[in-house]
Structure 1
Amino acid sequence: MIVCIGDVMVDVFYGAQEARRHPGGKASIYAVTARALGTPAAVMGCTGLDADGAAILETLRKTGADVSTIVELAGQQTGADFFEEQGWRMERGANWALTAQHVRDGLSALHADGSGIDAVIVNQGISLEASQEAVAFAHEHGIFLVLHLGPEAIEERRKVSPEFYPLADVIVVSQREADVLSEHLALDVEGKDGAQLARTLFDATNPRWALLLSWGVGGAHLVARTADGVREAGVPASSSPDHEVENYIGANDTAVSAWITWLVQGVATPAERPFPEAVDLLGRAVALAAVTLEYPGPLTAAVEAPERLAAHRG
C-alpha cells in the first residue's frame, strides 16, 4: 500500500458559463494513480462536511482508494484552488486543520491492519506539524518516504530545519518548488539549467536516495545514489506543457505517483532498482501523465477512463 498524505482540494474553473468544480488535490491524485496502476493506496487529508468534500470522497471511492484516514470536520471548508480570469488563488481551508495527531493515528491504524505500507508520499500542502509527523512516523518504522515539497506556505517552510530533508528517501520538486527551496536554503542557482539545479538541490538536501526535479509532461531530471556513486539522468517531455490549465492541473503529480508506484512494485526497497531501470520507469511515468491532459484533471481520468491508465501497467 502507498499512503498519500497531503492536500485534498477541489479545483474551481471560471469560464463564460458557470464555474466548473473538479475533485483534486495532490494526495488524491497520488492515490488514484497508484490504484489505476494496480497498487492499493490510502488518502490521508482533511475536508469539511460540505458538498465539495463529499464529491472528493465519492470520486476517491469510485477508484478504490482507501479513504478511512480522511478526516471530515464540521466548521471547516474543504480547500479549493480557484482559476479565474485575473489569475489563480488558493483557499487552504480544512487542509490546515489536519493535525499531527490525526497523522499519527491514521498511519498507526494502517500500519497495524496487516496489509503493509510500502511507501508514504508526503505533500507539504498541510500544516508543518502534520507533515513533520508523517516524516517522523515513516522514519521510525523504516517505511520508504517520498517528500514532495510544496511552495505554498513559504514563510512556514523557512522554519523547517535543513535536518528535515535527509530523512526522506526521495525529495520531489517542481520548477516552482525548486526555486522556493533554493531560496529557503540560500543557494546560488542563478543561470543554472535543470540538470545543474537538480544536482545542486540534491547536494544541499542530502536525501537518502534521490532527488527528482519534475516538470510533469515536460520531462524530469533524476539524481540518485548508486553503488557506483551519484548518477543522474534526464527524461524528455511527452507532450507540450502548453495546454489549457484545466487539463494540465495535476499532470506533474500523476507522473510522480506513477513513478513511485512502479518503483515499489515487486521490490523490498525501491532504491534496490538499478539506476537505468529507475530512469526508464520515470520516462514511462512522464508519458502516462500526458493521458490526463485529455480530461479535466487526473481524478476525472481515473474515473472516466481507468482502462487507459491501467494500460500503462508493467
Structure 2
Amino acid sequence: MVAKRPSASAVADVLIVGSLNMDLVIRTPRLPRPGQTVAAPALETIPGGKGANQAVAAARLGGKVAMLGCVGDDAYGTALRDGLRREGVETSMVSVHAGAATGIACVTVADSAQNTIVIVAGANQLLTPAMIEAQHAAFERARVVVCQLESPPDAVECALKLGRRLGKTVILNPAPAIGPLPTPWLAACDYLIPNETEAALLTARAVDSPEAALDAAADLHAQGAKHVIVTLGARGIAYVDATTRLLMPAPSALAIDTTAAGDTFVGALATALAEGAAPNAAIQFGQAAAAVSVTRLGAQPSIPFRSEVGTLAMQAP
C-alpha cells in the first residue's frame, strides 16, 4: 500500500493522534440480546472515529486543532477529510493509503440512549511510529497532545512518549481498553481519561460505583498518571491527582444518545487546557459540553459549539 505523503505540518494548539472512521449507525427500540434479531427503521452514515470526534469537539469548542491519522483512498476517506476541514481542523497530517479501506464503526443506538459499537480498523492500523516521528515539528508547536487506543499500540506509545519528551500536556483516552496499560504509558500521561468499564479493565478491579471509580483512579495515579478522570456518564466523574480525590456531579441533561459524549468531554478538556484553564475548570467545561452532546443524535452531529456551552465553566475554580 502506498500512502500519499502529507504536506508540511501546520501550527495547532491541540494535536489529535488517532482514528478516523465512518460510522454506520442503526437506531433500534432496544439493544439486541445475543442471538436476537431486532428490526430497525433506518441506517445512517455519519463521520466518526474517536480521534476525529475529539478533533471536531476541540475545534467547535474553540481550539486550534490538527489531526494526525490514516484513511483509505476511498469515498469514506475523502468524506472524512472534507468534513474535518469544514470544521476548521488541519488535515495535512492525515495520510491517504491506496488499496486500504477507511475504518468503519457499526453503531447500534437504543431508545434508552445506550449503544454498542463494533469497529473495523481499516487504514487506522497503518499508522506507524515513523509517521509520528515525521511530524516532530507539529508536536513541538502543540500545547496539548491527545491519543486514544484505536491506533496501533506502537504508534500510540511513540506519540505519548514524544509528547512527554517535548514537555506537552499529554492526554490518553484509553478506549477501547482490553487490559492494563504498560507503566511507561501511564508515566507519560498528564491526563488519563477512561470510562468506568475501561477503568475496570485497566485496574482489574470492579468499578460498580462512584466510590469504586475513585479507588480505580487512585490505582492508576499510583502507577504514574498525573491526573486521572474516570467518566461516569450521568453520575459525573471521579477525579484523582497528587492532592485531590473527589467526585464531580454531571450537569443534568435529558439524554437521547450518548455515542460521542466521552469524545466531546475529551475534546473540550483539551481545548480548555490549551487555553491555560486549571484542571477543575477544564473538567467542568468538558462536563458542560458533554451534557449538551447527549441531548442530540449522532456522533459528530451531536458535538456542540462554544457558544452553546458558554464560558462560565471556564472560569478558574
| Bin for the TM-score computed over the shorter chain | 0.7 to 0.9
Match of 1:250 in 2: 260
Distance 1:188 1:239, change over 3 A: closer
- Equivalent position SS for 1:176: helix
Residue pairs, 1:68-217, within 5 angstroms: 68-84=92-108, 88-106=117-135, 108-111=136-139, 116-152=141-177, 154=178, 161-183=182-204, 193-203=212-222, 205-207=223-225, 209-217=226-234
Structure whose residues are more often helix by fraction: 1
> Residues of 2 paired with 1:62 and 1:27: CA distance?
16
- TM-superposed CA distance for 1:132, in Å, is 0.9
Distance 1:111 1:255, change over 3 A: closer
> Residues of 1 paired with 2:68 and 2:301: CA distance?
19
Distance 1:219 1:62, change over 3 A: same
> Residues of 2 paired with 1:137 and 1:37: CA distance?
26
Deviations 1:217-274 (A, max 9, x none): 541111112xxxx212221122468x44xx3111111112212221221x3xx6xx3x
- TM-superposed CA distance for 1:83, in Å, is 2.5
Match of 1:28 in 2: 52
Q: What is the TM-score normalised by the length of structure 2?
A: 0.80
Count of residue correspondences: 283
> Residues of 1 paired with 2:183 and 2:306: CA distance?
42
> Residues of 1 paired with 2:182 and 2:259: CA distance?
30
Deviations 1:121-162 (A, max 9, x none): 11111001110110121122111111211235x3xx66x532
Matched-pair contact (CA < 8 Å) for 2:24–2:46: yes
- Equivalent position SS for 2:241: strand
- Percent identity between the aligned chains? 23
Matched-pair contact (CA < 8 Å) for 2:217–2:240: yes
> CA RMSD of the aligned region, Å?
2.6
Matched-pair contact (CA < 8 Å) for 1:170–1:212: yes
Match of 2:240 in 1: 223
- Equivalent position SS for 2:186: helix
Matched-pair contact (CA < 8 Å) for 1:151–1:176: no
Match of 2:9 in 1: none
Name the amino acid aligned to 2:161. Answer: A
> Residues of 1 paired with 2:99 and 2:248: CA distance?
45
> Residues of 2 paired with 1:3 and 1:145: CA distance?
10
Residue 293 (structure 2) pairs with residue 292 (structure 1)? yes
- TM-superposed CA distance for 1:34, in Å, is 1.7
- Equivalent position SS for 2:91: coil
> Residues of 2 paired with 1:236 and 1:90: CA distance?
31
Matched-pair contact (CA < 8 Å) for 2:143–2:168: yes
2:83 to 59, 67, 80: 59
Name the amino acid aligned to 1:170. Answer: Y
Runs (4 or more) in structure 1 with deviation over 6 Å come to 188-191
Unaligned runs of at least 5 residues, structure 2: 1-12, 28-39, 111-115
Distance 1:47 1:11, change over 3 A: same
Matched-pair contact (CA < 8 Å) for 1:233–1:279: no
Match of 1:45 in 2: 69
1:9 to 21, 42, 46: 21
Match of 2:37 in 1: none
- TM-superposed CA distance for 1:48, in Å, is 0.9
- TM-superposed CA distance for 1:90, in Å, is 1.8
Match of 2:36 in 1: none
- Equivalent position SS for 1:70: strand
